[in-house]
A and B are shown apart, each in its own frame.
Chain A
Amino acid sequence: MVRWPHPTAICTGTEPDAAGSAALMPALLTRFLPFLDYPFMQRALLASFAIGLLCAVVGVYVTLRSLSFFSDAISHAALAGIALGVLLGIDPVLAAVVFCVVVAAGITFLTFRTDLTSDTVIGVFFSGSMAVGVLLIGLQQGYQTDLLSYLFGDVLAVSKLDVALAMGLAVVVLGVLFRWSSVLIKIAFNRDLAEVEGVRAVAWDYLFMVLLAQTVAVSLKLVGIVLVSALIIIPAAAARNVAPDFRGLMGLAAAIGVVSTASGLILSYYLDTASGPTIVMVAIVVFIGSFGARAIRR
Protein backbone atom coordinates (compact mmCIF):
# COMPACT_ATOMS: atom_id res chain seq x y z
CA MET A 1 0.00 0.00 0.00
CA VAL A 2 1.53 3.34 -1.08
CA ARG A 3 2.00 6.03 1.50
CA TRP A 4 3.01 9.62 1.17
CA PRO A 5 6.62 10.28 -0.06
CA HIS A 6 9.16 11.84 2.26
CA PRO A 7 9.21 15.60 1.74
CA THR A 8 12.93 15.43 0.84
CA ALA A 9 12.12 13.31 -2.18
CA ILE A 10 9.79 16.04 -3.35
CA CYS A 11 12.33 18.80 -2.76
CA THR A 12 15.06 17.04 -4.74
CA GLY A 13 12.93 17.43 -7.82
CA THR A 14 11.36 14.02 -8.37
CA GLU A 15 8.30 16.00 -9.35
CA PRO A 16 9.40 17.49 -12.69
CA ASP A 17 7.25 20.56 -12.52
CA ALA A 18 7.31 21.01 -8.78
CA ALA A 19 8.71 24.51 -8.78
CA GLY A 20 6.55 25.76 -11.62
CA SER A 21 3.30 24.40 -10.29
CA ALA A 22 3.96 25.51 -6.76
CA ALA A 23 4.46 29.07 -8.00
CA LEU A 24 0.95 29.07 -9.45
CA MET A 25 -0.60 28.53 -6.06
CA PRO A 26 -1.31 31.73 -4.14
CA ALA A 27 1.16 32.09 -1.29
CA LEU A 28 -1.65 32.70 1.19
CA LEU A 29 -3.28 29.42 0.23
CA THR A 30 -0.15 27.38 0.52
CA ARG A 31 0.72 29.03 3.81
CA PHE A 32 -2.39 27.55 5.42
CA LEU A 33 -2.58 24.48 3.23
CA PRO A 34 1.09 23.56 2.69
CA PHE A 35 0.25 20.30 0.95
CA LEU A 36 -0.94 22.37 -2.01
CA ASP A 37 2.71 23.03 -2.72
CA TYR A 38 2.94 19.60 -4.24
CA PRO A 39 1.61 19.13 -7.76
CA PHE A 40 0.69 15.51 -7.08
CA MET A 41 -1.51 16.75 -4.22
CA GLN A 42 -3.10 19.35 -6.45
CA ARG A 43 -3.95 16.64 -8.98
CA ALA A 44 -5.20 14.29 -6.28
CA LEU A 45 -7.48 16.97 -4.83
CA LEU A 46 -8.94 17.85 -8.19
CA ALA A 47 -9.52 14.19 -8.93
CA SER A 48 -11.06 13.65 -5.48
CA PHE A 49 -13.53 16.51 -5.97
CA ALA A 50 -14.65 15.07 -9.30
CA ILE A 51 -14.73 11.46 -8.15
CA GLY A 52 -16.33 12.24 -4.79
CA LEU A 53 -19.15 14.11 -6.50
CA LEU A 54 -19.56 11.53 -9.26
CA CYS A 55 -19.60 8.50 -6.96
CA ALA A 56 -22.02 10.14 -4.54
CA VAL A 57 -24.56 11.08 -7.21
CA VAL A 58 -24.32 7.70 -8.91
CA GLY A 59 -24.64 6.16 -5.46
CA VAL A 60 -28.03 7.80 -4.92
CA TYR A 61 -29.39 5.89 -7.92
CA VAL A 62 -27.51 2.73 -6.91
CA THR A 63 -29.18 2.72 -3.50
CA LEU A 64 -32.53 3.80 -4.99
CA ARG A 65 -32.46 0.73 -7.21
CA SER A 66 -30.94 -1.58 -4.57
CA LEU A 67 -27.84 -2.17 -6.67
CA SER A 68 -25.23 -2.00 -3.90
CA PHE A 69 -24.16 -5.61 -4.37
CA PHE A 70 -24.11 -5.04 -8.10
CA SER A 71 -21.78 -2.06 -7.80
CA ASP A 72 -19.48 -4.09 -5.54
CA ALA A 73 -19.36 -6.85 -8.15
CA ILE A 74 -18.50 -4.34 -10.89
CA SER A 75 -15.67 -2.85 -8.84
CA HIS A 76 -14.16 -6.29 -8.23
CA ALA A 77 -14.59 -7.18 -11.90
CA ALA A 78 -12.24 -4.29 -12.61
CA LEU A 79 -9.38 -6.40 -11.25
CA ALA A 80 -9.67 -8.75 -14.22
CA GLY A 81 -9.89 -5.81 -16.57
CA ILE A 82 -6.78 -4.18 -15.16
CA ALA A 83 -4.84 -7.45 -15.18
CA LEU A 84 -5.88 -8.00 -18.79
CA GLY A 85 -4.79 -4.50 -19.70
CA VAL A 86 -1.37 -4.96 -18.13
CA LEU A 87 -0.98 -8.35 -19.82
CA LEU A 88 -1.90 -6.98 -23.24
CA GLY A 89 0.06 -3.77 -22.82
CA ILE A 90 -2.92 -1.45 -23.04
CA ASP A 91 -4.08 1.22 -20.61
CA PRO A 92 -5.34 -0.64 -17.52
CA VAL A 93 -8.10 1.87 -16.76
CA LEU A 94 -9.42 1.62 -20.31
CA ALA A 95 -9.31 -2.15 -20.10
CA ALA A 96 -11.10 -1.96 -16.76
CA VAL A 97 -13.85 0.23 -18.26
CA VAL A 98 -14.45 -2.23 -21.08
CA PHE A 99 -14.37 -5.27 -18.80
CA CYS A 100 -16.69 -3.65 -16.25
CA VAL A 101 -19.17 -2.72 -18.98
CA VAL A 102 -19.12 -6.29 -20.31
CA VAL A 103 -19.70 -7.74 -16.84
CA ALA A 104 -22.45 -5.21 -16.10
CA ALA A 105 -24.19 -6.02 -19.37
CA GLY A 106 -23.81 -9.74 -18.72
CA ILE A 107 -25.37 -9.50 -15.27
CA THR A 108 -28.25 -7.41 -16.58
CA PHE A 109 -28.86 -9.74 -19.51
CA LEU A 110 -28.91 -12.92 -17.41
CA THR A 111 -31.07 -11.35 -14.72
CA PHE A 112 -33.75 -10.51 -17.29
CA ARG A 113 -33.48 -13.63 -19.43
CA THR A 114 -33.27 -16.37 -16.77
CA ASP A 115 -35.19 -17.36 -13.67
CA LEU A 116 -32.13 -16.77 -11.52
CA THR A 117 -32.39 -14.04 -8.91
CA SER A 118 -30.22 -11.00 -9.43
CA ASP A 119 -28.03 -11.66 -6.38
CA THR A 120 -27.29 -15.17 -7.66
CA VAL A 121 -26.22 -13.86 -11.06
CA ILE A 122 -24.18 -11.10 -9.44
CA GLY A 123 -22.51 -13.60 -7.12
CA VAL A 124 -21.47 -15.76 -10.06
CA PHE A 125 -19.98 -12.85 -11.98
CA PHE A 126 -18.38 -11.41 -8.83
CA SER A 127 -16.48 -14.56 -7.98
CA GLY A 128 -15.85 -15.47 -11.60
CA SER A 129 -14.27 -12.16 -12.52
CA MET A 130 -12.18 -12.14 -9.35
CA ALA A 131 -10.94 -15.61 -10.25
CA VAL A 132 -10.11 -14.47 -13.78
CA GLY A 133 -8.27 -11.47 -12.36
CA VAL A 134 -6.17 -13.53 -9.98
CA LEU A 135 -5.34 -16.01 -12.73
CA LEU A 136 -4.26 -13.22 -15.08
CA ILE A 137 -2.14 -11.66 -12.33
CA GLY A 138 -0.45 -15.03 -11.92
CA LEU A 139 0.55 -14.91 -15.57
CA GLN A 140 2.47 -11.69 -15.00
CA GLN A 141 6.22 -11.91 -14.57
CA GLY A 142 7.68 -10.40 -11.41
CA TYR A 143 6.19 -8.22 -8.68
CA GLN A 144 3.42 -6.05 -10.04
CA THR A 145 3.25 -2.86 -7.96
CA ASP A 146 0.87 -1.28 -10.45
CA LEU A 147 -1.68 -4.01 -9.94
CA LEU A 148 -1.46 -3.77 -6.17
CA SER A 149 -1.90 -0.01 -6.29
CA TYR A 150 -5.18 -0.55 -8.13
CA LEU A 151 -6.39 -2.75 -5.30
CA PHE A 152 -6.08 -0.07 -2.65
CA GLY A 153 -5.59 3.15 -4.60
CA ASP A 154 -2.50 5.24 -5.16
CA VAL A 155 -2.86 8.97 -4.92
CA LEU A 156 0.69 9.44 -6.22
CA ALA A 157 -0.26 7.71 -9.45
CA VAL A 158 -2.95 10.26 -10.31
CA SER A 159 -1.66 11.92 -13.47
CA LYS A 160 -2.92 14.97 -15.33
CA LEU A 161 -4.62 12.60 -17.73
CA ASP A 162 -6.39 10.89 -14.83
CA VAL A 163 -7.64 14.25 -13.58
CA ALA A 164 -8.88 15.20 -17.03
CA LEU A 165 -10.56 11.82 -17.40
CA ALA A 166 -12.22 12.05 -13.98
CA MET A 167 -13.50 15.56 -14.57
CA GLY A 168 -14.61 14.84 -18.11
CA LEU A 169 -16.45 11.69 -17.11
CA ALA A 170 -18.02 13.47 -14.15
CA VAL A 171 -19.42 16.12 -16.49
CA VAL A 172 -20.83 13.54 -18.91
CA VAL A 173 -22.27 11.11 -16.34
CA LEU A 174 -23.68 13.82 -14.09
CA GLY A 175 -25.14 15.56 -17.12
CA VAL A 176 -26.96 12.40 -18.19
CA LEU A 177 -28.17 11.65 -14.65
CA PHE A 178 -29.35 15.22 -14.13
CA ARG A 179 -31.12 15.49 -17.48
CA TRP A 180 -32.93 12.16 -17.23
CA SER A 181 -33.26 11.81 -13.47
CA SER A 182 -37.05 11.58 -13.68
CA VAL A 183 -36.79 8.56 -15.99
CA LEU A 184 -34.40 6.73 -13.66
CA ILE A 185 -36.48 7.52 -10.59
CA LYS A 186 -39.66 6.47 -12.35
CA ILE A 187 -38.18 3.08 -13.28
CA ALA A 188 -37.06 2.53 -9.68
CA PHE A 189 -40.42 3.64 -8.31
CA ASN A 190 -42.46 1.29 -10.49
CA ARG A 191 -41.22 -0.29 -13.65
CA ASP A 192 -44.69 -0.99 -15.07
CA LEU A 193 -45.80 2.62 -14.59
CA ALA A 194 -42.68 3.78 -16.39
CA GLU A 195 -43.22 1.41 -19.32
CA VAL A 196 -46.88 2.36 -19.66
CA GLU A 197 -45.68 5.94 -20.01
CA GLY A 198 -43.38 4.91 -22.87
CA VAL A 199 -40.10 4.53 -20.99
CA ARG A 200 -37.90 1.76 -22.42
CA ALA A 201 -36.84 0.48 -19.05
CA VAL A 202 -34.49 -2.25 -20.31
CA ALA A 203 -32.54 0.21 -22.46
CA TRP A 204 -32.20 2.55 -19.48
CA ASP A 205 -31.01 -0.35 -17.33
CA TYR A 206 -28.19 -1.01 -19.75
CA LEU A 207 -27.31 2.66 -19.96
CA PHE A 208 -27.16 3.02 -16.19
CA MET A 209 -24.95 -0.06 -15.93
CA VAL A 210 -22.53 1.47 -18.42
CA LEU A 211 -22.44 4.74 -16.47
CA LEU A 212 -21.84 2.83 -13.24
CA ALA A 213 -19.05 0.76 -14.79
CA GLN A 214 -17.32 3.91 -16.03
CA THR A 215 -17.68 5.56 -12.63
CA VAL A 216 -16.08 2.57 -10.96
CA ALA A 217 -13.20 2.45 -13.43
CA VAL A 218 -12.31 6.14 -13.15
CA SER A 219 -12.36 5.93 -9.33
CA LEU A 220 -9.93 3.01 -9.04
CA LYS A 221 -6.75 5.04 -8.79
CA LEU A 222 -8.03 7.13 -5.92
CA VAL A 223 -9.58 4.52 -3.62
CA GLY A 224 -8.83 1.18 -5.26
CA ILE A 225 -10.93 -1.80 -6.27
CA VAL A 226 -11.57 -2.95 -2.71
CA LEU A 227 -13.08 0.31 -1.54
CA VAL A 228 -14.62 2.05 -4.54
CA SER A 229 -18.07 0.63 -3.87
CA ALA A 230 -17.89 2.14 -0.39
CA LEU A 231 -17.38 5.56 -1.95
CA ILE A 232 -20.46 4.97 -4.09
CA ILE A 233 -22.74 3.68 -1.35
CA ILE A 234 -21.80 5.43 1.89
CA PRO A 235 -22.52 9.10 1.00
CA ALA A 236 -25.98 8.18 -0.30
CA ALA A 237 -26.64 5.96 2.72
CA ALA A 238 -25.63 8.76 5.10
CA ALA A 239 -27.72 11.33 3.26
CA ARG A 240 -30.76 9.07 3.37
CA ASN A 241 -30.78 9.25 7.15
CA VAL A 242 -31.39 12.98 7.22
CA ALA A 243 -32.70 14.13 3.82
CA PRO A 244 -36.38 15.13 3.86
CA ASP A 245 -36.91 14.58 0.14
CA PHE A 246 -35.13 13.44 -3.01
CA ARG A 247 -33.71 16.83 -3.91
CA GLY A 248 -32.28 17.17 -0.41
CA LEU A 249 -30.93 13.64 -0.65
CA MET A 250 -29.07 14.41 -3.86
CA GLY A 251 -27.56 17.65 -2.55
CA LEU A 252 -26.53 16.13 0.75
CA ALA A 253 -25.04 13.01 -0.82
CA ALA A 254 -23.01 15.15 -3.22
CA ALA A 255 -21.74 17.30 -0.36
CA ILE A 256 -20.82 14.27 1.73
CA GLY A 257 -19.05 12.68 -1.23
CA VAL A 258 -16.91 15.74 -1.96
CA VAL A 259 -16.14 16.51 1.67
CA SER A 260 -15.28 12.88 2.47
CA THR A 261 -12.86 12.47 -0.41
CA ALA A 262 -11.18 15.85 -0.03
CA SER A 263 -10.89 15.75 3.75
CA GLY A 264 -9.91 12.09 3.72
CA LEU A 265 -7.15 12.87 1.26
CA ILE A 266 -5.86 15.78 3.34
CA LEU A 267 -6.11 13.77 6.54
CA SER A 268 -4.13 10.92 4.99
CA TYR A 269 -1.39 13.40 4.13
CA TYR A 270 -1.03 14.58 7.71
CA LEU A 271 -1.49 11.16 9.28
CA ASP A 272 0.74 9.48 6.71
CA THR A 273 -1.86 6.83 5.97
CA ALA A 274 -3.09 5.29 2.74
CA SER A 275 -5.47 7.69 1.04
CA GLY A 276 -8.17 5.26 -0.11
CA PRO A 277 -8.97 3.71 3.27
CA THR A 278 -8.73 7.11 4.99
CA ILE A 279 -11.27 8.59 2.61
CA VAL A 280 -13.64 5.69 3.27
CA MET A 281 -13.16 5.99 7.04
CA VAL A 282 -14.10 9.67 6.90
CA ALA A 283 -17.22 8.73 4.97
CA ILE A 284 -18.06 6.09 7.57
CA VAL A 285 -17.67 8.63 10.38
CA VAL A 286 -20.10 10.89 8.54
CA PHE A 287 -22.46 7.92 8.09
CA ILE A 288 -22.37 7.20 11.82
CA GLY A 289 -22.91 10.88 12.53
CA SER A 290 -25.97 10.86 10.28
CA PHE A 291 -27.76 8.60 12.76
CA GLY A 292 -27.20 11.21 15.43
CA ALA A 293 -28.47 13.90 13.10
CA ARG A 294 -31.54 11.82 12.36
CA ALA A 295 -32.24 11.36 16.06
CA ILE A 296 -31.93 15.10 16.66
CA ARG A 297 -34.20 15.88 13.70
CA ARG A 298 -36.89 13.63 15.09
Chain B
Amino acid sequence: MDEPLKAAAVAVSDLSLHLGSQTIFEDISFAVDEGEIAILIGPNGAGKTMLMRTMLNLLSAQTGSVTIFGRDNRNLGPVRHRIGYMPQRLDFDRTFPITVCEVMLLRLRKSGFWSNRRARREAILATLARVHAENLIERRIGQLSGGELQRVLLAYALLTHPDLLFLDEPAAGVDVAGEDTFYALIHHLRHEENLTVVMVSHDLDVVFRYADQVLCLNQRLLCKGAPHSVLGPEVLEQTYGSLAASYRHLHRH
Protein backbone atom coordinates (compact mmCIF):
# COMPACT_ATOMS: atom_id res chain seq x y z
CA MET B 1 0.00 0.00 0.00
CA ASP B 2 1.46 3.35 -0.99
CA GLU B 3 2.13 5.90 1.77
CA PRO B 4 -0.07 9.00 1.44
CA LEU B 5 1.74 11.86 -0.25
CA LYS B 6 3.02 14.44 2.22
CA ALA B 7 2.18 18.04 1.53
CA ALA B 8 5.12 20.32 0.86
CA ALA B 9 5.57 22.81 3.66
CA VAL B 10 8.12 24.72 1.59
CA ALA B 11 8.43 24.62 -2.19
CA VAL B 12 11.23 26.49 -3.96
CA SER B 13 11.23 26.71 -7.73
CA ASP B 14 14.00 28.09 -10.00
CA LEU B 15 15.09 30.61 -7.41
CA SER B 16 17.95 32.96 -8.24
CA LEU B 17 19.44 35.89 -6.36
CA HIS B 18 21.90 38.41 -7.71
CA LEU B 19 23.24 41.37 -5.77
CA GLY B 20 24.68 43.88 -8.17
CA SER B 21 26.91 41.91 -10.52
CA GLN B 22 27.42 39.10 -8.02
CA THR B 23 25.49 35.85 -8.28
CA ILE B 24 24.56 34.66 -4.81
CA PHE B 25 22.74 31.56 -5.96
CA GLU B 26 20.84 30.46 -9.04
CA ASP B 27 18.33 27.90 -10.29
CA ILE B 28 17.52 26.51 -6.86
CA SER B 29 14.59 24.09 -6.74
CA PHE B 30 13.59 21.80 -3.89
CA ALA B 31 10.69 20.97 -1.61
CA VAL B 32 10.51 20.23 2.10
CA ASP B 33 7.64 18.02 3.19
CA GLU B 34 5.67 18.58 6.35
CA GLY B 35 7.33 16.96 9.32
CA GLU B 36 10.70 16.79 7.60
CA ILE B 37 14.07 18.13 8.75
CA ALA B 38 15.97 19.61 5.81
CA ILE B 39 19.50 20.86 6.37
CA LEU B 40 21.34 23.27 4.09
CA ILE B 41 25.09 22.76 4.01
CA GLY B 42 27.85 24.43 2.09
CA PRO B 43 31.08 26.38 2.56
CA ASN B 44 31.20 29.96 3.79
CA GLY B 45 29.86 32.30 1.14
CA ALA B 46 27.83 29.58 -0.57
CA GLY B 47 24.61 31.52 -0.13
CA LYS B 48 22.95 29.44 2.61
CA THR B 49 21.85 32.33 4.80
CA MET B 50 20.88 34.37 1.76
CA LEU B 51 18.76 31.48 0.52
CA MET B 52 17.01 31.20 3.87
CA ARG B 53 16.39 34.95 3.98
CA THR B 54 15.05 34.83 0.42
CA MET B 55 12.67 32.02 1.34
CA LEU B 56 11.40 34.26 4.16
CA ASN B 57 11.07 37.21 1.74
CA LEU B 58 13.67 39.22 3.64
CA LEU B 59 15.43 39.46 0.28
CA SER B 60 13.74 39.69 -3.12
CA ALA B 61 14.75 37.06 -5.61
CA GLN B 62 15.29 37.99 -9.23
CA THR B 63 13.63 34.85 -10.59
CA GLY B 64 11.71 31.91 -9.28
CA SER B 65 9.17 31.43 -6.55
CA VAL B 66 8.81 30.24 -2.99
CA THR B 67 5.62 28.93 -1.46
CA ILE B 68 5.14 28.22 2.22
CA PHE B 69 2.12 26.10 3.12
CA GLY B 70 0.87 26.78 -0.39
CA ARG B 71 1.09 30.57 -0.15
CA ASP B 72 3.47 32.81 -2.05
CA ASN B 73 6.17 33.93 0.37
CA ARG B 74 5.47 37.57 -0.60
CA ASN B 75 1.95 37.24 0.74
CA LEU B 76 2.07 34.89 3.68
CA GLY B 77 -0.86 36.49 5.52
CA PRO B 78 -2.78 33.79 7.40
CA VAL B 79 0.12 31.30 7.52
CA ARG B 80 2.62 33.76 8.96
CA HIS B 81 1.90 32.74 12.53
CA ARG B 82 2.77 29.15 11.59
CA ILE B 83 6.39 30.14 10.94
CA GLY B 84 9.15 30.47 13.50
CA TYR B 85 12.60 31.86 12.72
CA MET B 86 15.97 31.89 14.47
CA PRO B 87 18.37 34.31 12.76
CA GLN B 88 22.07 33.62 12.57
CA ARG B 89 23.08 36.78 14.37
CA LEU B 90 21.33 38.94 16.85
CA ASP B 91 22.84 42.43 16.67
CA PHE B 92 21.43 44.43 19.50
CA ASP B 93 22.75 46.58 22.31
CA ARG B 94 23.53 44.01 24.99
CA THR B 95 23.64 46.69 27.67
CA PHE B 96 20.00 47.56 27.09
CA PRO B 97 17.82 46.60 30.05
CA ILE B 98 15.28 44.19 28.63
CA THR B 99 14.54 40.82 30.17
CA VAL B 100 13.90 37.47 28.54
CA CYS B 101 10.26 37.74 29.62
CA GLU B 102 9.89 41.13 27.95
CA VAL B 103 11.48 39.87 24.73
CA MET B 104 9.13 36.90 24.71
CA LEU B 105 6.17 39.26 25.23
CA LEU B 106 7.05 40.85 21.90
CA ARG B 107 6.23 37.59 20.15
CA LEU B 108 2.72 37.13 21.46
CA ARG B 109 0.13 38.30 18.99
CA LYS B 110 -2.55 40.82 19.82
CA SER B 111 -1.05 41.49 23.18
CA GLY B 112 -0.09 44.74 24.81
CA PHE B 113 3.44 45.01 26.04
CA TRP B 114 2.38 46.81 29.20
CA SER B 115 -0.73 45.00 30.41
CA ASN B 116 -1.90 41.54 31.50
CA ARG B 117 1.63 40.32 31.94
CA ARG B 118 0.77 37.65 34.49
CA ALA B 119 -1.49 35.72 32.13
CA ARG B 120 1.12 35.81 29.41
CA ARG B 121 3.90 34.96 31.80
CA GLU B 122 2.46 31.47 32.26
CA ALA B 123 2.57 30.83 28.51
CA ILE B 124 6.11 32.19 28.34
CA LEU B 125 7.27 30.02 31.26
CA ALA B 126 5.76 26.92 29.68
CA THR B 127 7.59 27.57 26.40
CA LEU B 128 10.87 28.32 28.14
CA ALA B 129 10.49 25.08 30.07
CA ARG B 130 10.31 23.15 26.78
CA VAL B 131 13.84 24.32 25.99
CA HIS B 132 15.03 24.03 29.61
CA ALA B 133 15.36 27.78 29.98
CA GLU B 134 12.62 28.61 32.47
CA ASN B 135 15.19 29.83 34.98
CA LEU B 136 16.21 32.58 32.55
CA ILE B 137 12.86 34.35 32.44
CA GLU B 138 13.88 37.36 34.52
CA ARG B 139 17.46 37.56 33.28
CA ARG B 140 18.49 40.44 31.09
CA ILE B 141 18.88 39.27 27.52
CA GLY B 142 22.32 40.87 27.22
CA GLN B 143 23.67 38.86 30.12
CA LEU B 144 22.93 35.46 28.63
CA SER B 145 25.68 33.16 27.45
CA GLY B 146 25.74 31.93 23.86
CA GLY B 147 23.98 28.70 24.71
CA GLU B 148 21.39 30.40 26.89
CA LEU B 149 20.61 32.94 24.18
CA GLN B 150 20.15 30.19 21.61
CA ARG B 151 17.66 28.43 23.85
CA VAL B 152 15.76 31.66 24.45
CA LEU B 153 15.66 32.38 20.72
CA LEU B 154 14.35 28.90 20.09
CA ALA B 155 11.70 29.45 22.75
CA TYR B 156 10.84 32.76 21.07
CA ALA B 157 10.33 30.93 17.77
CA LEU B 158 8.24 28.22 19.45
CA LEU B 159 6.05 30.55 21.50
CA THR B 160 3.22 30.67 18.98
CA HIS B 161 3.37 26.90 18.31
CA PRO B 162 4.59 27.16 14.74
CA ASP B 163 4.43 24.32 12.24
CA LEU B 164 7.60 25.36 10.44
CA LEU B 165 10.93 26.48 11.84
CA PHE B 166 13.71 28.22 9.95
CA LEU B 167 16.96 27.93 11.91
CA ASP B 168 20.04 29.72 10.62
CA GLU B 169 23.14 28.09 12.15
CA PRO B 170 21.32 27.73 15.46
CA ALA B 171 24.27 26.23 17.30
CA ALA B 172 26.80 28.88 16.33
CA GLY B 173 28.74 30.01 19.39
CA VAL B 174 27.52 27.08 21.48
CA ASP B 175 29.81 24.43 22.97
CA VAL B 176 29.71 20.79 21.88
CA ALA B 177 27.54 19.64 24.78
CA GLY B 178 25.14 22.50 24.14
CA GLU B 179 24.97 21.61 20.46
CA ASP B 180 24.05 18.02 21.20
CA THR B 181 21.33 19.13 23.58
CA PHE B 182 19.99 21.63 21.11
CA TYR B 183 19.75 19.27 18.18
CA ALA B 184 18.30 16.51 20.31
CA LEU B 185 15.63 18.99 21.38
CA ILE B 186 14.84 19.89 17.76
CA HIS B 187 14.63 16.21 16.89
CA HIS B 188 12.29 15.59 19.83
CA LEU B 189 10.05 18.51 18.89
CA ARG B 190 9.87 17.30 15.33
CA HIS B 191 8.58 13.92 16.45
CA GLU B 192 6.32 15.30 19.16
CA GLU B 193 4.64 17.99 17.05
CA ASN B 194 5.34 16.98 13.44
CA LEU B 195 7.37 20.16 13.16
CA THR B 196 8.97 20.95 9.81
CA VAL B 197 12.50 22.27 10.14
CA VAL B 198 14.68 24.00 7.57
CA MET B 199 18.12 24.51 9.04
CA VAL B 200 21.51 25.86 8.01
CA SER B 201 24.41 23.96 9.48
CA HIS B 202 28.12 23.39 9.04
CA ASP B 203 28.11 20.13 10.97
CA LEU B 204 27.98 17.00 8.84
CA ASP B 205 27.53 14.85 11.93
CA VAL B 206 24.28 16.70 12.62
CA VAL B 207 23.25 16.14 9.01
CA PHE B 208 23.77 12.39 9.18
CA ARG B 209 22.11 12.07 12.58
CA TYR B 210 19.04 14.25 12.16
CA ALA B 211 18.37 15.29 8.56
CA ASP B 212 15.68 13.68 6.43
CA GLN B 213 16.95 15.71 3.51
CA VAL B 214 20.27 17.42 2.91
CA LEU B 215 20.68 20.27 0.43
CA CYS B 216 24.25 20.97 -0.68
CA LEU B 217 24.63 24.55 -1.78
CA ASN B 218 27.52 26.37 -3.39
CA GLN B 219 25.76 28.98 -5.49
CA ARG B 220 23.95 26.08 -7.09
CA LEU B 221 22.18 23.13 -5.59
CA LEU B 222 24.75 20.35 -5.89
CA CYS B 223 22.78 17.66 -4.13
CA LYS B 224 19.47 17.02 -2.48
CA GLY B 225 18.13 13.93 -0.80
CA ALA B 226 18.68 11.60 2.13
CA PRO B 227 22.19 12.15 3.55
CA HIS B 228 23.24 8.52 3.33
CA SER B 229 22.18 8.41 -0.30
CA VAL B 230 23.64 11.61 -1.65
CA LEU B 231 26.53 12.68 0.57
CA GLY B 232 29.34 10.79 -1.05
CA PRO B 233 32.98 11.89 -1.42
CA GLU B 234 32.38 13.33 -4.88
CA VAL B 235 29.50 15.51 -3.72
CA LEU B 236 31.44 16.70 -0.69
CA GLU B 237 34.41 17.60 -2.86
CA GLN B 238 32.15 19.45 -5.25
CA THR B 239 30.53 21.34 -2.40
CA TYR B 240 33.50 22.10 -0.18
CA GLY B 241 36.48 21.70 -2.45
CA SER B 242 39.30 19.15 -2.59
CA LEU B 243 40.22 19.36 1.11
CA ALA B 244 36.85 18.09 2.26
CA ALA B 245 36.41 14.53 3.43
CA SER B 246 34.08 12.69 5.74
CA TYR B 247 34.84 9.80 7.97
CA ARG B 248 31.72 7.98 8.90
CA HIS B 249 31.55 5.83 11.96
CA LEU B 250 29.02 3.04 11.86
CA HIS B 251 28.53 3.11 15.61
CA ARG B 252 27.53 5.75 18.16
CA HIS B 253 29.96 6.97 20.79
Interface of A with B (CB < 8 Å)? Answer: 63-64, 66, 178, 181-182, 185-186, 188-190, 192-193, 195-198, 240, 243-249
The answer to whether A188 touches B92, judged by C-beta atoms less than 8 angstroms apart, is: yes
Beyond the given A182-B113, A193-B85, please list 10 additional residue pairs across the A-B interface where CB-CB is below 8 A: A181-B114, A182-B111, A182-B112, A188-B92, A192-B53, A192-B56, A195-B56, A198-B80, A240-B97, A246-B98
Please measure, in the bound complex, the distance between the C-alpha atom of A184 and the C-alpha atom of B114, giving whole angstroms: 14
Least CB distance from B249 to A in Å reads 37
1/0 per residue, CB under 8 A from A, across B96-124: the answer is 11110111011100011110000000000
**Tally of chain B residues near chain A (CB < 8 A):** 31
Please give, as numbers and ranges, the residues of chain B lying within 8 Å of A190 by CB-CB distance.
87, 90-92
1/0 per residue, CB under 8 A from A, across B130-159: the answer is 000000000010000000000000001000
Report the nearest B residue to A183, measured CB to CB: B106
**B interface SS class:** loop
Please measure, in the bound complex, the distance between the C-alpha atom of A282 and the C-alpha atom of B25, giving whole angstroms: 57
Q: Answer yes or no: B129 CB below 8 A from chain A CBs.
A: no
Please measure, in the bound complex, the distance between the C-alpha atom of A282 and the C-alpha atom of B156, giving whole angstroms: 41
Please give, as numbers and ranges, the residues of chain A lying within 8 Å of B53 by CB-CB distance.
192
Please give, as numbers and ranges, the residues of chain A lying within 8 Å of B105 by CB-CB distance.
182
A181, A193, A198, A245 interface centre (most CB from chain B within 10 Å):
A193
Please give, as numbers and ranges, the residues of chain B lying within 8 Å of A247 by CB-CB distance.
102, 114
The answer to whether A182 touches B106, judged by C-beta atoms less than 8 angstroms apart, is: yes
Report the nearest A residue to B141, measured CB to CB: A189
Report the nearest B residue to A241, measured CB to CB: B97
Please give, as numbers and ranges, the residues of chain B lying within 8 Å of A181 by CB-CB distance.
113-114
Please give, as numbers and ranges, the residues of chain B lying within 8 Å of A245 by CB-CB distance.
97-99, 101-102, 140
Least CB distance from A100 to B in Å reads 25
Least CB distance from B135 to A in Å reads 16
Report the nearest A residue to B168, measured CB to CB: A192
Q: Answer yes or no: B192 CB below 8 A from chain A CBs.
A: no
Given A182-B105, A247-B114, residue A192 in contact with residue B87 (CB < 8 A): yes
Report the nearest B residue to A242, measured CB to CB: B97
Least CB distance from A66 to B in Å reads 7
Report the nearest B residue to A187, measured CB to CB: B106
